Structure 1
Amino acid sequence: MRVIVEDTSNCPLPVIVAMQNIVSSNQCESHLPLPENISVVSIIALGDVEAVYLRDENTQATGLMLIPTQWLPDVVKRRSHNNSTLAWTVDSLIQLKIVGDAYPKMFSQGRTMRNSVSTERLRFDGQRVVEDETSKSILTVLRDDGRYHCVHQLTWMKGEGFVEVTSTFHNDSNEPLTLEMFSSFSLGGITPFACGDAAGRLVLHRLRSAWCAEGRLESRAIEEMQLECFHYPDTPTAERFGQVGSMPVRGWHPFIAIEDLEVGVTWAAQLACPGSWQLEAHRRDDCISISGGLADREFGHWLKRINPRARFTSPTAMLTVGASLDDACERFLQRQQRQEILPIEQSLPIIYNDWCTHWGKTSHANVVEMAEILMGEGIDIFVIDAGWSLGMGSWQENRAKFPDGLAVTAKKIRECGMVPGIWFEMECCEVTDGHTHENREHLLHRDSFPIQSGQRCFWDFRDPWVWNHLSEQMIDLLEECQFGYLKIDYNDSLGIGCDGTDSLGEGLREHLECVQKFIVRIRERLPNLVIELCSSGGHRLEPSMLQLANVASFSDAHETSDIPIIAANLHRVLLPRTSQIWSVLRSGDNAQRIVYSLAATFLGRMGLSGEIDQLDEWKRDILRFAIAFYHEASAVIAYGTSKRYGGPVLSYRNPVGWQAVVRQGAGAALVVGHAFAGDPPEIVELELPAGSWRIKKVFPQQMSSPELKGAALSAKFDGEWSAFAILLVQEEVESDVTLAG
């Protein structure tokens, strides 16, 4: 039976303020057909999802499943055995490994650290539900008597379609204990809708990422990944993947999902972690488990010493279960919708950045010249990118380029009706900057040497001197010059970690935690500052970094044909209202190229650059029309849900085929289509959301008239490398389509 812990002296749990929706074990048996070796601890309602806590009577492991409420009656009775072995054993909801304890058996070392003896020793010791008007938290305690206990906290914000999970390790002994693996979450029992091993029906989804190629979906059958259970009992197989270093979206996004194709249910997890992380799909019987958190000792060089009576909490993970992959992703995006929107951001202001205009050769003269040309054209923010300082690290204004100082330049931008912005790569410094050489002791070190990547070194944000230096050179400059926009860039990874603590991986974790705290300091000093997150484009598009910024650079894809492909990919992990998409316009561009480039920005935030000052007037007219169209579509861009049409694109550098994204919300629908190479279809028919629709506006103006055919929209491409955008409104709510400006 379930135990409610009352002795708070040994179990640091909050006081109970509500105790609801916990179903006793006996009641649960009638809901869930379980094997004899498994019993129910509790079933707790969390909106349209049930959190099901299970205990294995043989191993005493306590596990977690998530089941859609509507599907709870459809959970099937599992087979008890697979040949001579148990077909299902509960997988612990907390996974850990302590130095000195035995490693997991059966060829596991080097491939997975799950289910070590440290995990096997955990026993269920209590559960509480803490509920108020806005949230519900479930705290589950697992204990190894005398040495340590762990608290698994699952929190649901009411009205949202996902939960957040953290795990906290407490050292109860009189000796230090050293963690070498500690999970944020572990979710098991996948899939509860099959009586056996669900052969041929489970697909694992991941999102790959590379420089200028973010968000690429990879979907593979479980069998293709060799995640089938073996004939020998209790032999694990695992797929561990992740990222090592300070660019968390490098190789992969911190995301995993498993879809049961037969019933149409998808379980998904996402990590909020700015450094090295890992996710695992693991199997040792009929069911698959997914888990993740900080990259462990094997994968990420991480060890963490926990002193007696001390504790350590993992990064946050998000879990959900939805009807499809896209449904699961939309649920996770609700977390980003929590963020407060600054007044200037309410109307999705259009940004101009001078990087692809001046390529680092920025100056007061050319900034002012461009600002005067852009005045009155509907552009709201003017960003001075790299090239304004004497060096990266000292952050001294280059008076040869800005003879009267940046304050004068920023003032001139404001006089032209735009908010001035500026670029910093605050975490890095150049080897060639004399300031760097003079302050080597404040750099991150590995093996007692400064970490150097190319010409870059890295400030140690655990060092108060670094905070003082950047407060003076960066925050004071922002304030004194009245910059309203800050682009925080980051253009290399510092690798496996740094000296100064228990391990290289822990040094990396501590450093990045301090980087994030410094960004919070910037926000405290300048609460109305718009902060853009950039890391060679999209290398930091993960939740813990995104929550610190207002806007994020979607990619470093500036002028390539794959821009709309990447922009559409990122609808799964990034709200379009925060996804800044480059449209770099050149004087030699023809009309089709300009339309193709500008239409891609309707998939997120419009970010302009290039030779706008050299465009012919008729080309400027296309830009003006695009800006007006963007403002009319701003509400659905900000508050919609998306669906992509078109086949998969094999080569991003040489794309073939077509795509269209239909985004619906705020009483409107926005359809953005792009044709690539390879003889795309002349006409595409796209399913529209339910409702009575009317076409309000099209881009470009000369586009062949689209047609409404019942519940579908018929639209024409103008050959290869063409594009269009169509704004539709529901007649009864037409007046609510645009955002307040």
Structure 2
Amino acid sequence: MDLIQIDENGLHLVFEKTEDFGCKLLHFSALPFDERSLLHVHDRETGGLRLNTERYNLLEIMISGQNRPGERHGNKYISTSPGDRMKLVYFADKHNEFGRKLEIHMEDKTCGIETISHMQFYNGVQAVRCWTDVKNVGTEPQGLEYVSSFALTGIEKEGMLSTDDKMRVWYPHNGWQREMQWESYTFPQLGLARCQPEEIQRSSKVIGATNIGNWSTKEYLPMGLLENTETGSNLFWQIEHNGSWHWEISDQMGNFYIQLSGPTETESHWWKNLQPGETFTTVPVCVGSTLGKFDDAMGELTKYRRMIRRKNADNEKLCVIFNDYMNCLWGNPTTAKELPLIDAAHKAGCEYFCVDAGWYADGFWWDNVGEWLPSKERFPNGLEEVMDYIRSKGMIPGVWLEIEVMGICCPKAARVHPDWFFTRHGKKVHDRSRWQLDFRNPEVVEHANEVVDRLVRDYHVGYIKMDYNIEPGIGTELNADSVGDGLLGHERAYLAWLDSVFARYPDLVIENCSSGGMRIDYAMLSRHSIQSTSDQEDYLRYASIAANAPSGLTPEQSAIWSYPM
């Protein structure tokens, strides 16, 4: 075998250049590559043992109209085409300000595509950031149905025991008021027990997790850990995306694999018609490995998260914030109610004071969000009076926003063009009496900028609790190849808008809140300095959420509610 061995930051990677110019990823682990300690399968023809690397594809990519001759059993993203026939062009080994970086260039001349698999190391961290570029260098459009950000076969090969006995997969269940609840399972407990001779093991069962829609963590956090109890090694990962994502573990031809990606056609209605000359880039993912227990892996992931996030003073100061919503005003603020709370927050030593929902509505505040003009009924002398009083007490004022939506009773919603909103089957998408704004539309971005600029300029706001309380589903059909393509475009446009806000106002603190913890992902948290961990109202039930929070995000980004006793 013609091998390329990479040893960096305690990680050991091995690539194989095959005789037919393929490129395989044979090994990714905190353990060195040692064939003597690997679980081989019996070769029926020779009666010996072999490490069958035929299916160890570095990249899986599926293009519409291409045959999949290999056996995959069901919806698994293996034996993809042209994934199975990608050829190595060159292997680049570089260094940049973060650390070492690998770029593996491959091509498929049949479809006329070129790909680059990126692997960015970070100095002193046992984790790598991975993503894939796909460029159409041909003359015809090519329909992308699936592109992996990371693919690794042979996840069970270290040690000699059966996968039934040594492999455990950990992943965090997530839900409203019950965030970050980790569970671990053996493969048989999830239905992926050995069912055939080792050399042909290939079932139709897939284990993993998927998110569909704009609430990126409504059922699971986009992360997990695979533990080998025999060798004491593990593989951990996170998908860094604020929308649809997918990871899966399954078997093929005697081996087990893991694959990480953003949106897919089968799960999330994503399909991209890649035009000649156009490049598509997958969502980034993090993959790492350590020797030791769960906490060792989370420690490396914490170091990595600190490396990739936006540098800001807020994560160093760790200020105390008073928010008037939970177990307090519950979205019914007035000047008369706020002033004594401001006095009490000042006395308690708070450094920020946030006026939560309702400040813009005379009555019911839920379905008229979107214009963000202060209620004169609630604040007879203007919102400025409350904001100035907060400043006079030495605190920084803040307000609640839900900038990505407009309520069905919002006056401005009737004045704007329908292409401001998500649309499916020719109709605007409703959820909980709100419409989803599409941040691919420059007029929507202009509207969002006007709101933030006005709050900072006129009311001297230094803190925004940015909430998000709907799930608009699979996406939008407007100006998109598929509804999932529209959703992905919106999500990336929203991140670009966030970047522009922080560039204008580097000291502005924007809390990431989505009904509490419905978007705990590192697309958002690489920008935001603080994350709402839950809407949980019961401090006894909050205990497990608070304890598990450092696994989902860095401790200094975790906003934990404190309750009056």
TM-score (ref. length: structure 2): 0.92
2:524 matched to 1:545? yes
Residue identity in the other structure for 2:298: C
The separation in 2 between residues aligned to 1:120 and 1:526, in whole angstroms, is 47
Corresponding residue for residue 109 of structure 2: 145
Task: Report if the CA contact (8 A) 1:247-1:275 is conserved.
Answer: yes
Corresponding residue for residue 286 of structure 2: 318
Corresponding residue for residue 162 of structure 1: 127
2:327 matched to 1:349? no
Task: Report if the CA contact (8 A) 2:202-2:254 is conserved.
Answer: no
* Residues 207 and 555 (structure 1), Cα distance of their counterparts in 2 relative to 1, 3 Å cut: same
CA offsets 1:241-290 (integer angstroms, 9 cap, x no match): 21100011111111122111011100111110111000010211443211
Tell me by how many angstroms 1:560 deviates. Answer: 4.2
* Residues 260 and 369 (structure 1), Cα distance of their counterparts in 2 relative to 1, 3 Å cut: same
- Specify the SS of the correspondent of 2:153: strand
Corresponding residue for residue 449 of structure 1: 427
2:151 matched to 1:194? no
Tell me by how many angstroms 1:504 deviates. Answer: 0.6
* Residues 184 and 409 (structure 1), Cα distance of their counterparts in 2 relative to 1, 3 Å cut: same
Tell me by how many angstroms 1:311 deviates. Answer: 1.2
Residue identity in the other structure for 1:165: C
* Residues 104 and 437 (structure 1), Cα distance of their counterparts in 2 relative to 1, 3 Å cut: farther
Corresponding residue for residue 356 of structure 2: 385
Corresponding residue for residue 466 of structure 2: 488
Residue identity in the other structure for 1:44: I
Residue identity in the other structure for 1:499: E
The one of 37, 40, 48 equivalent to 1:76 is 37
- Specify the SS of the correspondent of 1:518: helix
- Specify the SS of the correspondent of 2:168: strand
Instruction: Say which is worse superposed, 341-350 or 574-583, in terms of deviation.
Output: 341-350
CA offsets 1:142-174 (integer angstroms, 9 cap, x no match): 221252121111010111221100111111211
2:322 matched to 1:360? no
Tell me by how many angstroms 1:104 deviates. Answer: 6.4
2:87 matched to 1:123? yes
User: Percent of counterpart pairs with the same letter?
Assistant: 24
Corresponding residue for residue 216 of structure 1: 181
The separation in 2 between residues aligned to 1:388 and 1:222, in whole angstroms, is 51
Tell me by how many angstroms 1:377 deviates. Answer: 2.0
Structure 2: where are the runs of 5+ without partners?
A: 362-367
Task: Report if the CA contact (8 A) 1:443-1:458 is conserved.
Answer: yes
Tell me by how many angstroms 1:228 deviates. Answer: 4.0
- Specify the SS of the correspondent of 1:417: coil
The separation in 2 between residues aligned to 1:333 and 1:102, in whole angstroms, is 42
Corresponding residue for residue 373 of structure 1: 344
Tell me by how many angstroms 1:536 deviates. Answer: 0.5
**Highest relative contact order (Cα 8 Å, sep 6+), 1 or 2?**
2
* Residues 194 and 83 (structure 1), Cα distance of their counterparts in 2 relative to 1, 3 Å cut: farther
Residue identity in the other structure for 2:329: H
Task: Report if the CA contact (8 A) 1:55-1:63 is conserved.
Answer: no
The one of 25, 37, 49 equivalent to 1:63 is 25
Corresponding residue for residue 27 of structure 1: none
- Specify the SS of the correspondent of 2:317: coil
Task: Report if the CA contact (8 A) 2:170-2:182 is conserved.
Answer: yes
- Specify the SS of the correspondent of 1:128: strand
Tell me by how many angstroms 1:103 deviates. Answer: 4.0
* Residues 240 and 299 (structure 1), Cα distance of their counterparts in 2 relative to 1, 3 Å cut: farther
* Residues 107 and 40 (structure 1), Cα distance of their counterparts in 2 relative to 1, 3 Å cut: closer
Residue identity in the other structure for 2:513: C
2:3 matched to 1:41? yes
Corresponding residue for residue 205 of structure 1: 170
2:381 matched to 1:404? yes
4+ runs deviating over 6 angstroms: none
CA offsets 1:305-327 (integer angstroms, 9 cap, x no match): 11112211111110100122222
The separation in 2 between residues aligned to 1:130 and 1:270, in whole angstroms, is 24
Task: Report if the CA contact (8 A) 1:87-1:286 is conserved.
Answer: no
What is the total number of aligned residue pairs between the two structures? 546
* Residues 64 and 446 (structure 1), Cα distance of their counterparts in 2 relative to 1, 3 Å cut: farther
The separation in 1 between residues aligned to 2:288 and 2:135, in whole angstroms, is 27
The separation in 1 between residues aligned to 2:98 and 2:502, in whole angstroms, is 26
CA offsets 1:347-394 (integer angstroms, 9 cap, x no match): 311111000211111012211121123323211111100000133011
* Residues 244 and 408 (structure 1), Cα distance of their counterparts in 2 relative to 1, 3 Å cut: same
Corresponding residue for residue 507 of structure 1: 486
The one of 221, 225, 235 equivalent to 1:267 is 235
Q: Which of 1 and 2 has greater Rg?
A: 1
The one of 78, 102, 109 equivalent to 2:67 is 102
* Residues 319 and 196 (structure 1), Cα distance of their counterparts in 2 relative to 1, 3 Å cut: same
2:251 matched to 1:287? no
The separation in 1 between residues aligned to 2:65 and 2:442, in whole angstroms, is 35
Tell me by how many angstroms 1:450 deviates. Answer: 0.5
Task: Report if the CA contact (8 A) 2:27-2:33 is conserved.
Answer: no
The separation in 1 between residues aligned to 2:434 and 2:370, in whole angstroms, is 10
Residue identity in the other structure for 2:408: V
- Specify the SS of the correspondent of 1:191: coil
Task: Report if the CA contact (8 A) 1:444-1:451 is conserved.
Answer: yes
TM-score (ref. length: structure 1): 0.70
- Specify the SS of the correspondent of 1:392: coil
Residue identity in the other structure for 1:539: M
* Residues 40 and 226 (structure 1), Cα distance of their counterparts in 2 relative to 1, 3 Å cut: farther
Task: Report if the CA contact (8 A) 1:389-1:398 is conserved.
Answer: yes
Task: Report if the CA contact (8 A) 2:208-2:248 is conserved.
Answer: yes
Give the RMSD, CA atoms, in angstroms: 2.2
Task: Report if the CA contact (8 A) 1:567-1:581 is conserved.
Answer: yes
The separation in 2 between residues aligned to 1:141 and 1:41, in whole angstroms, is 16
Task: Report if the CA contact (8 A) 1:301-1:505 is conserved.
Answer: yes
Task: Report if the CA contact (8 A) 1:148-1:172 is conserved.
Answer: yes
Corresponding residue for residue 507 of structure 2: 528
CA offsets 1:689-738 (integer angstroms, 9 cap, x no match): xxxxxxxxxxxxxxxxxxxxxxxxxxxxxxxxxxxxxxxxxxxxxxxxxx
* Residues 467 and 548 (structure 1), Cα distance of their counterparts in 2 relative to 1, 3 Å cut: same
Tell me by how many angstroms 1:292 deviates. Answer: 1.1
* Residues 311 and 175 (structure 1), Cα distance of their counterparts in 2 relative to 1, 3 Å cut: same
Corresponding residue for residue 465 of structure 1: 443
CA offsets 1:163-220 (integer angstroms, 9 cap, x no match): 1001111112110001011111112221342247444001111111111111111211
The separation in 1 between residues aligned to 2:421 and 2:122, in whole angstroms, is 40
Instruction: Say which is worse superposed, 58-67 or 291-300, in terms of deviation.
Output: 58-67
The separation in 2 between residues aligned to 1:60 and 1:234, in whole angstroms, is 24
Tell me by how many angstroms 1:524 deviates. Answer: 1.7
Corresponding residue for residue 556 of structure 2: 577
* Residues 65 and 370 (structure 1), Cα distance of their counterparts in 2 relative to 1, 3 Å cut: same
The separation in 2 between residues aligned to 1:134 and 1:474, in whole angstroms, is 33
CA offsets 1:554-597 (integer angstroms, 9 cap, x no match): 11112242111011112112111111111222xxxxxxxx3xxx
- Specify the SS of the correspondent of 1:584: coil
* Residues 396 and 129 (structure 1), Cα distance of their counterparts in 2 relative to 1, 3 Å cut: same
Corresponding residue for residue 202 of structure 2: 235
The separation in 2 between residues aligned to 1:342 and 1:312, in whole angstroms, is 30
The separation in 2 between residues aligned to 1:115 and 1:557, in whole angstroms, is 44
Residue identity in the other structure for 2:477: D
- Specify the SS of the correspondent of 2:121: strand
Task: Report if the CA contact (8 A) 1:75-1:192 is conserved.
Answer: no
Tell me by how many angstroms 1:296 deviates. Answer: 1.0
The separation in 2 between residues aligned to 1:193 and 1:65, in whole angstroms, is 10
The separation in 2 between residues aligned to 1:60 and 1:525, in whole angstroms, is 47
- Specify the SS of the correspondent of 1:473: helix
* Residues 340 and 506 (structure 1), Cα distance of their counterparts in 2 relative to 1, 3 Å cut: closer
The one of 424, 432, 442 equivalent to 2:401 is 424
The separation in 2 between residues aligned to 1:209 and 1:281, in whole angstroms, is 19
The one of 553, 565, 577 equivalent to 2:544 is 565
Instruction: Say which is worse superposed, 200-209 or 184-193, in terms of deviation.
Output: 184-193
CA offsets 1:599-657 (integer angstroms, 9 cap, x no match): xxxxxxxxxxxxxxxxxxxxxxxxxxxxxxxxxxxxxxxxxxxxxxxxxxxxxxxxxxx
The separation in 2 between residues aligned to 1:412 and 1:80, in whole angstroms, is 73
Residue identity in the other structure for 1:483: V
The separation in 1 between residues aligned to 2:241 and 2:474, in whole angstroms, is 15
